[in-house]
Amino acid sequence: MAAVADASTGIGGGSTPEPVVAVRGLRKRYGRLDAVAGIDLEVYRGEIFAFLGPNGAGKTTTVEILEGFRTRSDGEVSVLGVDPARGDGAWRNRVGAVLQESQPEPGLTVRECLQLYAGYYTEPREIDETITLVGLEEKADTLGEQLSGGQRRRLDVALALIGDPDLIFLDEPTTGFDPSARRTAWSVIDGLRSLGKTVFLTTHYMDEAEQLADRIAVIAAGRIVAEGTPGTLGGRHRMAATVRFTLPDATRPAELPQELRALAVGEDGQRVTLATQTPLLHVHTLAEWALARGVDLPDLDIRRPTLEDVYLELTDDKQEG
Amino acid sequence: MILLLRWLHRRLRRPPATAAPAAGRGRLALVLHQARYDLRAFLRNKQSRFFTLILPLLFLVIFVSVFGNHVVGPDGVKASTYYVPGLSAMAVIAASFVNLVISITTQRESGVLKRRRSTPVPAWVLIAGRTLTAMGVSLVTMAVLLAVGRFAYGVHLPTRTIPGVAVTAVVGAAAFCVLGYALSTAIKSADAAQPMVQAIMLPLYFVSGVFIPNVNLPSWLRHVAEVFPVQHLADGLHHAYDPSATGVGIVWTDIGVLALWAAIGLAVALRRFSWTPAAATG
């Protein structure tokens, strides 16, 4: 399989810590379709790991196998040292899960929901503190059904946290949120890092992965197509930067120094696009040339490829194939 | 009556509610913990309160008013003495079967059951807690029916046959809870639950001596009714309330048929019960 594991975090070698989640050759077959077609994953203690991919790529299938809700067709899976297919109460005591779709407990307030769930665990967290952690202090005595979508999701996070788990699964926690609700949810998830929790996050938003994750794996059509940090995913750090500018009418692109013309990847009338591995050096050359001619380049723009560019490139080929 | 249930609810409440750890408590305490929150959710639901607590009482008043407090039924008792146990059967079924099917399908479809399964709580604790709630609600509703019957209509107080009343009600509630879990496996959406349970129960109430004494029925219809558990719960309770009943008022054949239905329900529920919504996403 074509997993590109470039620049995965240098955790390897002799003193490797035991991964919290370890997956080898995981496969899930539905009829003749491989929803998950043999993937490998490792998630380490204390990191926020984002599992990024378009809808239908196999994210939820994978996470539900890790949570113990689904069986697998093939492969080895270990979550906190236990095979989730055989996870017992003691194992569930250490794992929290925010499911993709779950409504609040009917007829109970936010605090009562948490009291009910706290009773399920051996060493639950303090209830009021957990309510504060997800920012629902004002709503503690409100019935779950009366919360907004964003607040319900935060209640879900609180319910996943109440047992004080080591590992938390978050399955598309902000789907359907408005921008401000997303920001609030992100700060809650970011806060889990400071509690020392390991977080396994699935999402189809690249900005969410970029904002929150220490490490990202991209899944498309059931396969891992890239793995890395937000900065290095898919070789992003080695990809060329783009320099764009528009020359004044009196100046022809052909008049640019030879060194820069060689970098041109696009010319649209007076608008020039250059691709460069050394943007600083080439912008310096461009600036010297422009200043010497008394020309200004008011729309000069230097861009590194965004995570979105990388992601779309990675997932596009796969979805077609 | 709601006050009575609230009192029961407070009895179930354990001191300082801030997260008594499950490990330090027994299994029974965990069942009571679950029952307490199930009961609280039940009491907050208007529809549950009406159909389970109010409706049987309303029917008692209506039936006794319509038919007058004359002698009815096979045992030749007053209408009120006939209707208190009959509608007690309805109350047990409303609390255990009807309410349970509706709440379980709703909770399954909305992901509540699935989320509970992601916690360490054992499945049997959830089921036992819910069953205990149904039994508690059944017994309280029956007590209120009896109290109203006694003071408004002079219904005979079955002091000697209290064991018969209690045993029949508890076995009935348990059997109908199990049947509720079994039926919930055949209902795909929460919206379908209410019409489905009513479509099953309304005809059975009519042919099983709950709404009208079944001596008025043609014999073939009585034979049909005898197959179903509603008839046997109602019959067991009628017998326990019958002033001429001897012994402690337990009809073992009725208990046996209820147990048989419970066994069938259990087999179906164990094979087919699902904690996750019907249309699982990929």
At which of A216, A236, A256 does a domain end?
A236
Residue ending a domain, among A206, A236, A266, is A236
Put simply, the answer to whether A99 touches B120 (Cβ < 8 Å) is no
A28 and A88 part of one domain? yes
A-chain residues near B21 (CB < 8 A): 121-124
Distance from CA of A97 to the nearest CA of B (A): 7
DSSP per-residue string spanning B59-121 = HHHHHHHHH-S-EETTTTEEHHHHHHHHHHHHHHHIIIIIHHHHHHHHHHHTTHHHHHHTSS-
Burial of A277 by CB count in 10 Å (0-12 exposed, 13-18 middle, 19+ buried)?
A: exposed
Task: Pick A61's closest partner by Cβ from B23, B117, B282.
Answer: B282
- How far does B144 lie from chain A, in Å, by closest CA? 24
pLDDT of residue B80: 87
B276 has a chain A CB within 8 A of its CB? yes
Given A202, A236, A270, which residue is the final one in a domain?
A236
Q: Which sequence spans correspond to the domains of chain B? A: 2-7+28-272
Q: Give the pLDDT band of residue A317 (cuts 50, 70, 90).
A: low
Is B115 in CB contact (< 8 Å) with chain A?
A: yes
- Cα–Cα nearest to A205, from A4, A8, A55: A55
Residue A283 lies in a domain: yes
**Which residues of chain B are within 8 Å of residue A96 when distances are taken between CB atoms?**
118
d(CA A309, CA A299): 21
| Same-domain check for residues A84 and A172 | yes
pLDDT of residue B27: 86
Q: Which residues of A touch B37 (CB under 8 A)?
A: 105, 108, 112, 115-116
**Helix pair B162-184, B190-207: axis angle to 10 deg:** 140
pLDDT in tens, chain B (282 residues): 666 667 667 666 544 444 444 444 688 999 999 999 999 999 999 999 999 999 999 999 999 988 877 777 666 778 888 899 999 999 999 999 999 999 999 999 999 999 999 999 998 999 999 999 999 999 999 999 999 999 999 888 788 888 899 999 999 999 999 999 999 999 988 899 999 999 999 999 999 999 988 887 899 999 999 999 999 999 999 999 888 877 888 889 999 999 999 999 999 998 888 888 875 443
In this predicted structure, which of A11-25, A87-101, B154-168 has the lowest mean pLDDT? A11-25
CB contact under 8 A, A89 and B45: no
From the candidates A63, A82, A99, which should be mutated to test the interface with B, based on the most B CB atoms within 10 A? A99
Structural domain includes residue A46: yes
Closest B-chain CA to A66 = B118
Q: Is residue A71 domain-shared with residue A192, that is, in the same domain?
A: yes
- Please count the structural domains in chain A: 2
Res. A318 pLDDT band, cuts 50 70 90: low
- Give residue-wise pLDDT tens across range A235-293: 777 778 889 999 988 888 888 999 898 898 877 888 999 989 889 999 999 999 999 98
Backbone angles phi, psi at A283, to 5 degrees: -70, -35
Q: Which element (helix H / strand E) includes A24?
A: strand A21-30
Domain co-membership, A228 together with A246: no
User: DSSP for A54-93?
Assistant: -TTSSHHHHHHHHHTSS--SEEEEEETTB-GGG--HHHHT
Q: Give chain B positions within 8 Å (CB) of A35.
A: 282
What is chain A's Cα-based Rg?
A: 24
Q: Which amino acid is at A129?
A: E
Q: Are residues A90 and A43 part of one domain?
A: yes
- Average of pLDDT values for A159-179? 91
Instruction: Judge if A228 and A197 occupy the same domain.
Output: yes
Structural domain including A282 reads 240-303
Flag whether pLDDT at A11 surpasses 70: no
Residues of chain B with Cβ-Cβ distance to A99 below 8 Å are 111, 114-115, 118
Predicted TM-score (pTM) of this structure:
0.82
Q: Taking CB atoms and an 8 Å cutoff, what residues of chain B touch A61?
A: 282
**In this complex, which of A93, A119, A123 lies closest to B33 when CB atoms are compared?**
A119
pLDDT over 60 at A319, yes or no: no
User: The CATH number of the domain where A78 resides is what?
Assistant: 3.40.50.300
SS3 A1: coil
> Does residue A203 sit within a domain?
yes
Query: pLDDT at residue A8 above 90?
Result: no
Asked whether residue A90 falls in the same domain as residue A174, the answer is yes
